[in-house]
């Protein structure tokens, strides 16, 4: 089955004289069961406006169009537009925006294109823009959920618990704004060309309320990024990279006043502890 699908996609691409671009993160899904499962995992239905990033030849787009009220797909590669005209011709709830998703005003796009529909994101993301794309989608603050196919290792990092090797500043960012869960894995042979690594579908429901109270969000993230700046050092030493003006003794005192061990490493702290620490640092800096 997948073999026939692969041949059909290759024939389509050859007919349009299309060549894959590595720099655009082009790995297209060839087994229809996979985009079907991703669309299912997104929970898209007729009440949703779905933003897709990188439709490629439309493997996931068509599955989304069968379920959602509307699908707007942002595609960077203009060579794919005539192909999408052909493959998506049957769907009148589909449109393409020819652009770099990282340069778009996403809240404006959602306002203009989705009317009263509930906006969600579903995409097989180009691997090279995973972090900036997820950051922009979260910071847009207009999507109810994100369902994305990304590298398994990145998905594991985003879901990682404090104290594990995979846990880092981006895990905290993701878990502060969303509730991420790993849905299923997708092996390299499900794509052309085959990526070197295994992929995974991550579904992240946006939180309606922050999971912890913080006096100042920007300050909270300044604390988080400083805490992970020197991973192999203690939290106090790592904090010196951004809060050096307070001095090491004062930082150690603040860390202890938050109920933490003076020699703790940043990677041990959960959201609650980061919230306490950032509020204490903010107060100390005045």
> Which residue in the set 2, 12, 37, 102 belongs to the binding site for ligand SAM (CB under 6 A)?
102
Cα 60 to Cα 117: distance, rounded to the nearest angstrom: 20
Q: Residue 67 — φ and ψ, nearest 5°? A: -110, -35
Residues 124 to 143: which contact ligand SAM by CB under 6 A? 124, 126, 129
Q: How many residues bind ligand SAM (CB under 6 A)?
A: 23
Does residue 100 belong to the site contacting ligand SAM (CB under 6 A)? yes
| CA of residue 171 relative to chain centroid, distance | 11
Query: Between 8 and 47, how does the x/- string for binding to ligand SAM read (CB under 6 A)?
Result: ----------------xxxxxx------------------
Does residue 202 belong to the site contacting ligand SAM (CB under 6 A)? no
Which one, 28 or 225, has the nearer CB to ligand SAM? 28
Residue 158 near residue 180, CB atoms below 8 Å: yes
Which one, 29 or 134, has the nearer CB to ligand SAM? 29
| CA of residue 57 relative to chain centroid, distance | 21
Residue 242 sits at the vertex; the CA angle it makes with 241 and 243, to the nearest 5 degrees, is: 105
Does residue 175 belong to the site contacting ligand SAM (CB under 6 A)? no
Does residue 119 belong to the site contacting ligand SAM (CB under 6 A)? no
Does residue 266 belong to the site contacting ligand SAM (CB under 6 A)? no
Which one, 53 or 155, has the nearer CB to ligand SAM? 53
Does residue 79 belong to the site contacting ligand SAM (CB under 6 A)? no
> Which residue in the set 44, 50, 51, 59 belongs to the binding site for ligand SAM (CB under 6 A)?
59
Does residue 48 belong to the site contacting ligand SAM (CB under 6 A)? no
Give the count of beta carbons closer than 10 Å to the beta carbon of residue 102. Answer: 14
User: What residues contact residue 226 under an 8 Å CB cut-off, 6+ apart?
Assistant: 238, 239, 241, 242, 243
Residue 114 near residue 72, CB atoms below 8 Å: yes
Cα 115 to Cα 109: distance, rounded to the nearest angstrom: 10
Q: Which helix (H) or strand (E) holds 251?
A: helix 248-257
Does residue 53 belong to the site contacting ligand SAM (CB under 6 A)? yes
Window of 121-129, 209-217, 232-240, 263-271 that interacts with ligand SAM by CB under 6 A: 121-129
Residue 8 near residue 173, CB atoms below 8 Å: no
Contact positions toward ligand SAM, by CB under 6 A? 24-29, 53-56, 59-60, 74-77, 80, 100-102, 124, 126, 129
């Amino acid at each position: 089955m997948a073999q026939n699908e692969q041949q059909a996609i290759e024939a389509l691409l050859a007919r349009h004289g299309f060549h894959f671009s590595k720099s655009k993160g082009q790995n297209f899904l060839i087994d229809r069961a996979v985009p079907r499962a991703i669309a299912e995992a997104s929970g898209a239905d007729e009440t949703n406006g779905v933003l897709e990033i990188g439709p490629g030849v439309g493997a996931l787009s068509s599955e989304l169009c069968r379920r959602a009220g509307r699908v707007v797909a942002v595609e960077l590669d203009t060579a794919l537009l005539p192909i999408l005209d052909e493959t998506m011709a049957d769907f009148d709830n589909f449109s393409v925006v020819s652009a770099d998703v990282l340069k778009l005003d996403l809240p404006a796009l959602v306002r203009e294109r989705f009317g009263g529909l509930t906006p969600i994101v579903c995409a097989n993301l180009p691997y090279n823009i995973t972090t900036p794309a997820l950051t922009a989608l979260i910071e847009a603050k207009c999507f109810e959920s994100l369902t994305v196919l990304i590298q398994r290792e990145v998905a594991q990092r985003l879901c990682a618990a404090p104290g594990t090797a995979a846990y880092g500043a981006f895990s905290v960012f993701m878990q502060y704004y969303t509730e991420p869960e790993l849905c299923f894995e997708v092996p390299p042979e499900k794509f052309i060309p085959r990526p070197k690594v295994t992929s995974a579908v991550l579904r992240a429901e946006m939180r309606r309320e922050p999971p912890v109270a913080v006096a100042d969000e920007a300050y909270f993230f300044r604390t988080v990024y400083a805490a992970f700046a020197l991973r192999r050092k203690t939290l106090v030493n790592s904090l010196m990279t951004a809060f050096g003006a307070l001095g090491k003794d004062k930082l150690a005192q603040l860390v202890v006043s938050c109920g933490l061990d003076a020699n703790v490493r940043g990677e041990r702290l959960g959201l609650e502890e980061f919230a306490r620490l950032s509020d204490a640092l903010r107060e100390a800096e005045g």
